[in-house]
Amino acid sequence: MKYRSVFDIIGPIMIGPSSSHTAGAARIGRTARALFGREPKEVVITFYGSFAQTYRGHGTDVAIVGGILDFDTFDPRIPRALEIAAERGIRVVFRLSDEEAPHPNTARVHLRDGRGSLELVGISIGGGKIEIVELNGFALKLSGNHPALLVLHEDRYGMIAAVSNVLAKHAINIGHMEVSRRERGREALMVIETDQGIPGDAIQEIAAIPHVLAANYVQPV
Partner 1 sequence: MVHFRSIKELVERCEREQKPISEAMIEAEMAVSGRSREAIWNQMAQNLEVMEQAVKRGITEDIRSRSGLSGGAAKKVQEYLARGMFLSGHTVLDAVSKAMAVNEVNAAMGTIVATPTAGAAGVVPGTLFALSEKLEATREQQIRFLFTAGAIGYIIANNAFIAGATGGCQAEVGSATAMAAAAIVEMAGGTPRQSGEAVAIALKNLLGLVCDPVAGLVEAPCVKRNAMGAAVALVAADLALAGVTSVIPPDEVIEAMYRIGASMPRALKETALGGLAATPTGRALAAKIFGRPPAIEPQQTGD
Give the separation between CA 65 and CA 29, rounded to whole angstroms: 6
Nearest Cα neighbor of 176 from 131, 114, 127, 215 is 131
Residue 5 in the binding site for partner 1 (CB under 8 A): yes
Pick one of 39, 70, 79, 145: the residue that binds partner 1 (CB under 8 A).
79
Strands 187-194 and 148-154: antiparallel
Q: Which residues contact 161 (CB under 8 A, 6 or more apart)?
A: none
Binder among 38, 88, 127, 165 for partner 1 (CB under 8 A): 127
Contacting range for partner 1; rule: CB under 8 A; set: 2-10, 149-157, 166-174, 200-208: 2-10
Shortest distance (Å) from residue 58 CB to partner 1: 7
Looking at 57-65, 133-141, 188-196, 213-221, which segment touches partner 1 (CB under 8 A)?
A: 57-65
- With binding defined as CB under 8 A, does residue 199 bind partner 1? no
User: Which uninterrupted H or E stretch holds 195?
Assistant: none
Q: How far is the CB of 7 from partner 1 (least distance, A)?
A: 6
Residues in binding contact with partner 1, number by CB under 8 A: 45
Task: Look at the chain and count its residues.
Answer: 221
Angle, CA of 221, 29 and 173, to the nearest 5°? 35
CB of 120 to partner 1, least distance (A): 19
Peptide bond just before 40 cis, omega within 30 deg:
no
Cα 119 from Cα 117, distance rounded (Å): 7
- Helix or strand holding residue 80 (H, E): none
Contacting range for partner 1; rule: CB under 8 A; set: 71-79, 145-153, 158-166, 201-209: 71-79
> Which helix (H) or strand (E) element contains residue 36?
helix 24-36
* Least distance to partner 1, CB of residue 192, Å: 23
Interface with partner 1 includes 31 (CB under 8 A)?
Answer: no
Residue 54 as a binder of partner 1 (CB under 8 A): the answer is: yes
Footprint of partner 1 (CB under 8 A): 1-24, 49-50, 53-54, 56-59, 62, 74, 76, 78-79, 103-105, 124-128
